[in-house]
Amino acid sequence: MEKDGSKDSMDAFARECRDRGLKVTYQRMEIFRVAVSTDEHPDAVTVHKRVKKRIPTISLDTVYRNLKLLAAHGLLAVVGTSGEHLRFDANRGPHHHFTCVRCGMIRDFTSEVLAALPLPREAQDLGVPLSQHLEVKGICVACEKKEQRKKEAPRHKRDA
Amino acid sequence: MEKDGSKDSMDAFARECRDRGLKVTYQRMEIFRVAVSTDEHPDAVTVHKRVKKRIPTISLDTVYRNLKLLAAHGLLAVVGTSGEHLRFDANRGPHHHFTCVRCGMIRDFTSEVLAALPLPREAQDLGVPLSQHLEVKGICVACEKKEQRKKEAPRHKRDA
DNA sequence: ATGGGTGCAAACAGTTTGCAGTTAC
DNA sequence: GTAACTGCAAACTGTTTGCACCCAT
């Protein structure tokens, strides 16, 4: 699926919706078209504004609902940790983040390999870089352990 | 400044405050102590809860104000894009982000060098990684141009 | 003493939810 | 026909702001 909102990609999207039991509504299609036609990572209000040009009566909450729904189905993603509360970081040195997708915990790590990494040219083409850090998403050891336990001992209903 | 809230680091912090004309209040010190004593990247409510143990009467908005103030002074940082609106990304392939610190624009880029990069061991120690992407912060070409113009032609008041 | 800082309460903005009517399947 | 979806309005939550008092400098 290219990021252009072409007929092909919209057809593919419609198919993916039906596959998941999601109805293919005009609103949903237009919301997706707008989202997929830009790489500015718009927020819900921006998407709403743009969709309104085609569907003047569409409501903001329909946009929210659809973006969230599509995100839940993996048809699009929420950028970074956006939308969560403000989180603060008193570690002022260069470091990277490991974010647990289960519990939301963010842990720092440092890496000499990464520190030595030159900034890719593709990024330099976009502007003057000031800092860079790697965002790793995954499942932290604590959550991993929890899930292991569930698998290993499903006969106990300790995790009702 | 180590991330331990030791007397030394607190003294250093007090000095940095005074250097910037910020008053060294009990509340401010405790807020910083909490922030710097953890790498969980707590949100304001969490910080508030912890500071309350020492200062039961502290208000949540004092915590907000101080965290924001300290962030503005570079004494701590706001994590990722947190706190902004929800932003959505329909680019489902692996890609990285260039975020402009001036205008907030986020642009995607891909990089074969990065794609080939093995995940550092330090991250694997924290859990099972699912995805990784580089977050580059800097000044985008548009903002860069704007600032150049200001420097080069200050005699014209085209940028009043 | 005095300007910044604090606490309170009220305002705000973005997001979510309940409901009744509508639409895709 | 029915379950999913939409639009509206009201609720909610995290964050910000105005104001009067207080405290570090």
Which has more pLDDT, A105 or B57?
Answer: B57
Residue A39 is predicted with a pLDDT of 86
- From the alpha carbon of B60, which nucleotide's C1' atom is closest? C7
A76 lies within 8 A of chain B by CB: yes
Which has more pLDDT, A52 or B94?
Answer: A52
CB pairs under 8 A between A and B: 253
pLDDT of A114 higher than 70: yes
Contact predicate A85/B44, CB 8 Å:
yes
Cα–Cα distance measured from residue A36 to residue A30, given in angstroms and rounded to the nearest whole number: 10
Which domains, and CATH codes, for chain A?
1-92 (1.10.10.10), 94-152 (3.30.1490.190)
Tell me the two tokens of residue A151. 């698998």
Mean of pLDDT over chain B: 88
CB contact under 8 A, B96 and A127: no
B22 contact to strand C (CB, 7 A limit): yes
A130 lies within 8 A of chain B by CB: yes
A39, A88, A109: residue with CB nearest B42: A88
For residue B120, the SS3 value is: coil
Owner of token pair 């947190």 = B82
Record the pTM. 0.84
Cα–Cα distance measured from residue B9 to residue B36, given in angstroms and rounded to the nearest whole number: 9
- Parallel, antiparallel or unpaired: strands A96-100 and A106-109: antiparallel
The B 47-106 residues near strand D by Cβ under 7 Å are 60-61, 64-65, 68, 83
| For residues A139-160, average pLDDT | 74
CB contact under 8 A, B89 and A110: no
**What pLDDT, in 10s, does the model give residues A26-83?**
999 999 999 999 988 999 999 999 999 999 999 999 999 999 999 999 999 998 776 6
Cα–Cα distance measured from residue B145 to residue B139, given in angstroms and rounded to the nearest whole number: 10
**Gap from A112 CA to C24 C1', in Å?**
55
**What pLDDT, in 10s, does the model give residues B79-93?**
877 677 899 999 888
Bridge partners of A136? A98, B132
